[in-house]
Copies of this chain bind each other. A is one copy, B any other.
Amino acid sequence: MDYINNYIEENKERFLDELFGLIKIPSISSLSEHKGDMYKAAEYWKKTLLEAGADKAEIFETEGNPVTYGEKIIDPSLPTVMVYSHMDVMPVDPLDLWTTPPFEPEIRDGKIWARGADDDKGQGMMHAKAFELMVKTNTLPCNVKFMIEGEEEIGSPNLGKWCEQNKEMLKSDVILVSDTSMIAPDIPSITTGLRGLAYWQVEVTGPNKDLHSGLFGGTVANPINVLCNMINQMVDENGKVTIPGFYDDVLEVSSEERELLAKAPFNEEEYKKAIDVEELAGEKGYSPSERTGIRPSFDVCGIWGGYTGEGAKTVLPSKAFAKVSSRLVPNQDHEKIAQLFKEHFESIAPKPVKVEVTSLHGGQGYVCPIGIPAYQAAEKAYTDVFGKRPVPVRSGGSIPIISTFEEVLGVKSVLMGFGLESDAIHSPNENYPLEQFFNGIKTIPLFYKYFAEMNK
């Protein structure tokens, strides 16, 4: 592993500079005013791949944000690894909770602080730098392809179609994705399952204009009260989602597998302390890890309506809105669930209001079997770097495109994540420990090595 450690040691400052350059581009995919930044990020990735040693790199247009694709084909008879990452990031509000500005990366306490430091600019850049390392040290044992998209955080609405249109170019034997986390710096783990996602916006309309809450209060249905009532009906007192048919396709996980999953360390007291809650919540009959790993959930991501300014305004508002989402487990179809919710939510609307449900995005869940060679190569690489065999875990998060890759390209993905739970992805003060960044760059070339050996 000396050639790996030496190359990293000699180039680490430059690696960080290059990552910071990418982070400084505020490529927020859900806000249309950042459209131009998506192109800047795509150009930055193109330059990064070419400088790292790609034969070619190109920016592809889609109906949405661009995709940067690059490749180095050393021998068509060798196996091909495709790296997937995304250049887009989440919005940054509430801004006032950030210690330093989200797009001005800073190193403090051994961590990089910025939006995208982990998700997924930091983790994506590890692959670019590991690729460069293998090229410059003449140790690249396979062909490599990079596919960097710009819409992961909004559910990859155009990448599936783009894959469909570029199937031949994207042919590969495995897809590597670093967009998940490990249990702890000293407890390596590899994510073997992801939840799917359905996401809706709902709009409840009562009277056709805001009314005086005194003159009308008591006689006209208040759309906020109604929305609260309707949302409240979505989950029962046992934490079960009440949408008819919601659980129909959920595969009950066997008690044997539940026992295995329970072996992943979980300290409930520390978990609660980290987020400062006195008690956890959720579906009865399942452990906290099971509730995020193998069970679907229902959350309101946002709600608004009426007067939300300073002081007191007495108003009976005309409208109330919410953004709601469900995390789904493998075998639950997001389109079916999207439809079930829409029908159910509209059906329970009381007569004095009008309700409209719009599906905003969705994606399927995913499972990676631990018996496939690519998983085993990853397992060996982690063991070499972290000194321990990684634990397979089911994550509660969603990367909807992963199941699309399997469907469209027929290729399994291995989720070699190096993030930590404390990285605060999607939140203010996102961060990424330098140690995880550099350990990632060490682990990746070893994966290539073992994967190539297994395919000989």
Contacts and interface: CB of A to CB of B under 8 A. Distances in A.
B427 A211 contact: yes
Contact of A276 (B197, B199, B207): B207
A395 B428 contact: no
B217 A297 contact: yes
A38 to B, nearest CB: 14
Contacts of A99: none
A340 B327 CA distance: 38
Contact of A216 (B154, B207, B292): B292
A184 interface: no
Interface residues of A, number: 100
A224 to B, nearest CB: 4
Interface string A22-40: 0000000011100000000
Contacts of A327: 213-214, 217-218
A214 B303 CA distance: 18
A315 interface: yes
Contacts of A66: none
A178 B282 CA distance: 54
Given A308-B323, A315-B302, A210 B297 contact: no
B296 A209 contact: no
A352 B281 contact: yes
Contact of A299 (B32, B222, B427): B222
B301 A307 contact: yes
Interface string A289-301: 1011001111111
B30 A296 contact: no
A155 interface: yes
Q: Of residues A206, A215, A283, which shows the largest number of chain B Cβ atoms within 10 Å of its Cβ?
A: A215
Given A97-B209, A212-B426, A229-B232, A351 B396 contact: no
A292 B291 CA distance: 45
Contacts of A232: 225, 228-229, 232
Q: Of residues A181, A217, A289, A320, which shows the largest number of chain B Cβ atoms within 10 Å of its Cβ?
A: A217
Interface in A6-64: 30-32
A298 to B, nearest CB: 8
A345 B277 CA distance: 19
Nearest to A426: B212
A221 B296 CA distance: 14
A269 interface: no
B212 A310 contact: no
A360 B314 CA distance: 11
Contacts of A30: 309-313
B301 A216 contact: no
Given A218-B295, A277-B353, A314-B426, 8 more contacts: A30-B312, A32-B310, A201-B312, A209-B427, A214-B292, A224-B231, A225-B235, A314-B398
The 3 closest A-B pairs by CB, nearest first: A218-B297, A214-B397, A302-B306
15 contacts: A30-B309, A32-B310, A91-B307, A215-B421, A219-B281, A219-B396, A221-B279, A222-B299, A224-B299, A224-B302, A227-B228, A281-B350, A303-B303, A303-B320, A312-B323
